[in-house]
Amino acid sequence: MHPKGPRPDPIKAVVFDWRGTLVTELTPEDWALEALKRVRTDADPEPGHDAAVALLQQIRTAAGQPNRLQSPQGNTSYQRHRDTYFEVFEDAGLAPDLAEALFDVDSDPGYNTFAVDAADTLNALAENGYRIGILSNIHFDIRDCFKQAQLLDVIDEFVLSNEEGIQKPDPAIFRLILDRLDTPAEQTLMVGDRSNRDGVAADPGVRMPTLLVPTLSDPGHRRLHLVMNTIGANQGLRSLLPNRSLHKARRTIGRLVGTAPAMT
């Protein structure tokens, strides 16, 4: 039996978050550990989990509540991002070389590896005529990462917070990528991993159908088939999907539109 109810507007474009969605993102513990490794000397013992946890505790205590490292303006420019982080590092009493290492690790796209299914997903979307946008809270230009992965040519638009002076969850940045893609909100699927940032696309001020996937920590994890399943369900293309996947994808669209929680 076909699912009952009105069919959603056909999807014409897909907007992807970058870190945690298309590429891996370091856990906080791994971020701290990588920085400790960078400042280690030959005379120092190899830093381990306990040292990383202790460093994180210092940083979190200094960052306070609300966490200054998660400032709603912290990625609106490279300099603002750097100033925000270094203010916290100074308050935490960190040595200058360790502070630099922490910022360098955070700014190094070498730690952000594309998911094993990213290229196939992006190429399939492009080949089937969907417009593709990248919407990221990031303090540096990520286009070269796509170029190195031979994916730059399939992306129609990049909207990066450091270039625009606004960042998620501000509804204005979602409206900006819609304008750049020239597609209506209801026909543009937002794909991300964080409800308090990417999920805002589903709120009344934007109203994009939204799919949240698990945060990518291992590039070998395959999650992006959910994008194709969701589009297939939206278009009513039953032949592309097992019945269970079709039903799940339809429920995903309906569940997230207008219900994603805002950042607190």
Task: Report CA torsion sign: 217, 136, 224, 147.
Answer: negative
Q: Are 190 and 252 in contact (CB under 8 A)?
A: no
Give the pLDDT confidence of 80-126 residue by residue, as tens digits: 999 999 999 999 999 999 999 999 999 999 999 999 999 999 999 99
Rg, the chain, Cα only: 20
Among 220-224, 251-255, 259-263, the range scoring the smallest mean pLDDT is 259-263
To the nearest 10°, report the CA torsion of 86, 163, 144, 109: 20
Give the pLDDT confidence of 151-179 residue by residue, as tens digits: 999 999 999 999 999 999 999 999 999 99
Give the pLDDT confidence of 34-45 residue by residue, as tens digits: 999 999 988 888
Rounded Cα gap, residues 219 and 202, in angstroms: 27
Tell me: pLDDT of 244 over 50: no
CATH 3.40.50.1000 domain span(s) along the chain: 13-24+112-256
CA geometry: angle at 217 spanning 124 and 134, to 5°?
Answer: 45
Tell me: pLDDT of 241 over 70: no
CATH superfamily of 13-24+112-256: HAD superfamily/HAD-like (3.40.50.1000)
Q: Hey, what are 138's tokens?
A: 């990031």
In total, the chain counts a number of residues equal to 264
Give the amino acid at 32: A
Q: Are 133 and 12 in contact (CB under 8 A)?
A: no
